[in-house]
């Protein structure tokens, strides 16, 4: 179909002038609105303002511009139906052959934290209506919504004497419907986030960020979509160096960065297969890294390292001693970047800031026949939330480690057991079907760590404090898990409580002189 008349109405005006000039060079008549019309007119192009075209001015603060039969009739009329052509001729409606539209920046407005009324005003009405109309009538009308497609459209006009092919129009129509669906999905999701319970229809809107080499395994295809939120992490990070991120890299990096964001003090987390190998806090970030690595240096090989502070040269020097897939941090010094540059395949991601662990957001998992949706676990336990249930109360040192360990346990696959001492994990048991097995694994890893400490006499390995704290992501159903922990040297325990056998577990703790606190909050992570 030859393009004789085009309607251009753009919020994002990137490439608009060059595109319009290309159309004009093909003899295309230009219709436009507001700021777009001014841009083209100021560049010397002949443009008809939409108000002059319809005979109606913009009204209602710009809410009504293109919602007019002369616009939509020209877009929707079928060129192969005599009755459509007769109606068009009767009402003096010229055909519109090309619709070039993008929409008010709703997602961007929400991401900036705008108030409710501002977000409402950034919901586009006329733009989606014209886009959908043109996409529906793609037999005869070309629709383009992405500036990246402007060169391809102009190339086809040159190749086909001012016309586009059906295959191209169909391709652009599919892209247009996906764009309006995503836009409406973002609006619906935002409305759902304003309260009022779970919506009757859950709309997930994502924009393709990149295709990935493969998914969890080479035989699985995969892609990365962004949701328009402004949450710091892998999606918004600047990749300073290194090869392309894989599906597993992105998943693990997200897990690592969300974990370190939990801590107000400098913290480092080393992640492998979405589970922490080691986590530590310390006023010195390099020391925190060494403590995190000491927890399980074997598993840390080929892992993901997250920091909640600027990466400095000292820490970078330590990190490059072992193979690491990804480092993510708010920032990095020039010296640290130079050190990492020698590791060409190591990815360095800088986010500029940390995600808010208390921010309400949606978690979705696909299952056969549908989706499971829930609020992300944003619970953060503080000392005044705890209930001391044993005869002995935790010491200040134990209390600090208990809170630290429980916050780490929140990010460990269930069943989760975390041993902590001196603000660092010293043993982690994850993902076991029985809690006592997780306890045994954590104790076994701690024993290995202690053996390594005996072999090495350097500042990388701290002497264990006099106390040893344990966190469990859910209650102990029996006393056996706690007894096993006591036998491993645990002196204090933090757990949700709520078992019918709580009294037995408390009695076992009292018999062994342990301090134990209940949180009343469970952190299952499947």
State the virtual CA torsion across 209, 214, 216, 217 in degrees, nearest 10: 180
The answer to whether the CB of 208 falls within 8 A of the CB of 225 is yes
**What pLDDT is stored for residue 312 in this prediction?**
96
The predicted model scores a pTM of: 0.81
Q: What is the CATH number of domain 381-518?
A: 3.40.140.20
| Segment-wise mean pLDDT, segments of 10 residues, the chain, 526 residues | 86 86 86 84 84 73 73 85 83 87 85 84 86 91 91 88 88 91 84 76 81 92 86 90 91 95 96 94 94 92 96 95 95 96 93 92 89 89 93 95 96 93 92 86 84 63 71 90 88 94 93 95 91
| Residue 196: burial class (beta carbons within 10 Å; 0-12, 13-18, 19+) | exposed
5-193 to CATH, choices 3.40.50.1380, 3.60.70.12, 1.10.760.10, 3.30.70.270: 3.40.50.1380
**What pLDDT is stored for residue 108 in this prediction?**
82
Is residue 136 among the annotated active site residues?
yes
**In the beta sheet, which residues pair with residue 471?**
418, 494
Active-site residue identified among 13, 209, 273, 447: 273
Omega within 30 of 0 (cis) for the link into 205: no
Cα Dmax for the chain: 95
**What pLDDT is stored for residue 428 in this prediction?**
93
Q: Which of 23, 370, 354 is nearest to 164 (CA)?
A: 23
Q: CA-CA distance, 452 to 156, in Å (whole number)? A: 67
CA distances from 69 to 7, 73, 141 (A): 14, 5, 16
**What pLDDT is stored for residue 465 in this prediction?**
65
Answer positive or negative: Cα dihedral of 179, 183, 189, 190: positive
Helix count (H) and strand count (E) of the chain? Answer: 19, 21
Q: Do the strands 417-421 and 424-429 form a parallel or antiparallel pair, or are they unpaired?
A: antiparallel
Q: What's the DSSP call for residue 385?
A: G
Intra-chain end-to-end CA distance of the chain, in Å = 54
How crowded is residue 84: how many other Cβ atoms within 10 Å of its Cβ? 14
Helix axes 479-487, 502-511, angle to 10 degrees: 20
> Helix (H, G, I), strand (E, B), or coil: what is residue 261?
coil
Q: CA-CA distance, 400 to 391, in Å (whole number)? A: 19
232-350 to CATH, choices 3.90.950.10, 3.40.140.20, 3.40.50.1110, 3.40.190.80: 3.40.140.20
Is residue 273 among the annotated active site residues?
yes
Q: CA-CA distance, 524 to 502, in Å (whole number)? A: 18
Backbone phi, psi, residue 310, to 5°: -60, 135
- Are both 5-193 and 232-350 of the same fold? no
Q: Which of 46, 1, 5 is nearest to 170 (CA)?
A: 1
The full set of domain ranges for the chain reads: 5-193, 232-350, 381-518
**In the beta sheet, which residues pair with residue 359?**
none
Q: CA-CA distance, 33 to 508, in Å (whole number)? A: 76
| Residue 218: burial class (beta carbons within 10 Å; 0-12, 13-18, 19+) | exposed
**What pLDDT is stored for residue 410 in this prediction?**
95
> Which parts of 137-244 fold into alpha helices (H)?
150-159, 166-193
Q: CA-CA distance, 292 to 54, in Å (whole number)? A: 68
Q: Which of 463, 420, 462 is nearest to 445 (CA)?
A: 420
Q: CA-CA distance, 11 to 486, in Å (whole number)? A: 64
- What the block records as the tokens of 280 is 């530590």
Active-site residue identified among 136, 207, 310, 337: 136
**In the beta sheet, which residues pair with residue 318?**
none
Strands (E) across 80-206 are located at: 98-101, 142-144
């Amino acid at each position: 179909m030859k393009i004789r008349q085009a309607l251009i109405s753009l919020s994002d005006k990137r490439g608009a002038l060059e595109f319009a000039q290309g159309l004009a060079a093909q003899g295309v008549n230009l219709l436009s609105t507001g700021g777009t019309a001014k841009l083209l007119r100021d560049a010397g192009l002949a443009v008809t303002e939409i108000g002059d075209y319809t005979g109606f001015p913009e009204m209602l603060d710009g809410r009504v511009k293109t919602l007019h039969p002369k616009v939509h009739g020209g877009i929707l009329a079928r060129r192969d139906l005599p009755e459509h052509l007769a109606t068009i001729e009767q009402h003096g409606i010229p055909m519109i052959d090309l619709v070039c539209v993008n929409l008010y920046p709703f997602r961007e407005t929400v991401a900036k934290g705008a108030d409710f009324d501002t977000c409402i005003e950034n919901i586009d009405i006329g733009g989606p209506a014209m886009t959908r109309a043109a996409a529906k009538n793609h037999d005869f009308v070309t629709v383009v919504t992405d500036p990246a497609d402007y060169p391809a459209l102009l190339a086809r006009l040159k190749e086909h004497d001012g016309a586009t092919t059906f295959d191209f129009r169909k391709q652009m129509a599919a892209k247009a419907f996906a764009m309006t669906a995503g836009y409406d999905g973002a609006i619906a999701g935002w409305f759902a986030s304003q309260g009022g319970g779970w919506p009757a229809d859950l709309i997930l809107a994502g924009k393709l960020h990149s295709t990935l080499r493969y998914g969890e395994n080479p035989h699985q295809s995969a892609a990365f979509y962004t949701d328009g939120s402004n949450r710091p992490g892998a999606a918004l990070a600047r990749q300073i160096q290194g090869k392309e991120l894989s599906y597993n890299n992105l998943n693990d990096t997200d897990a690592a960065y969300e974990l370190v964001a939990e801590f107000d003090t400098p913290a480092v987390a080393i992640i492998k297969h979405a589970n922490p190998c080691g986590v530590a806090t310390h006023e010195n970030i390099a020391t925190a890294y060494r403590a995190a690595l000491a927890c399980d240096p074997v598993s840390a090989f080929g892992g993901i390292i997250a920091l909640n502070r600027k990466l400095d040269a000292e820490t970078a020097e330590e990190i490059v001693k072992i193979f690491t897939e990804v480092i993510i941090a708010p920032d990095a010094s020039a010296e640290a970047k130079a050190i990492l540059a020698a590791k060409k395949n190591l990815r360095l991601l800088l986010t500029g800031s940390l995600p808010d662990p208390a921010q309400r957001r949606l978690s979705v998992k696909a299952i056969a026949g549908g989706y499971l949706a829930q609020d992300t676990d944003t619970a953060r336990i503080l000392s005044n939330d705890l209930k001391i249930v044993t005869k002995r109360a935790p010491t200040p040192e134990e209390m600090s480690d208990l809170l630290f360990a429980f916050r780490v346990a929140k990010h460990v696959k269930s069943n989760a057991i975390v041993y902590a001492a001196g603000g660092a994990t010293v043993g982690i048991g994850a993902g076991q079907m029985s809690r006592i097995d997780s306890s045994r694994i954590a104790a076994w890893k701690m024993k290995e760590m202690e053996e390594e400490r005996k072999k090495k006499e350097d500042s990388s390995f701290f002497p264990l404090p006099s106390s040893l704290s344990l966190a469990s992501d859910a209650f102990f159903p029996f006393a056996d898990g706690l007894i096993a922990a006591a036998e491993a040297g645990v002196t204090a325990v933090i757990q949700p409580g709520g078992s019918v056998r709580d009294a037995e577990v408390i009695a076992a703790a009292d018999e062994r002189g342990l301090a134990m606190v209940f949180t009343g909050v469970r952190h299952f992570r499947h």
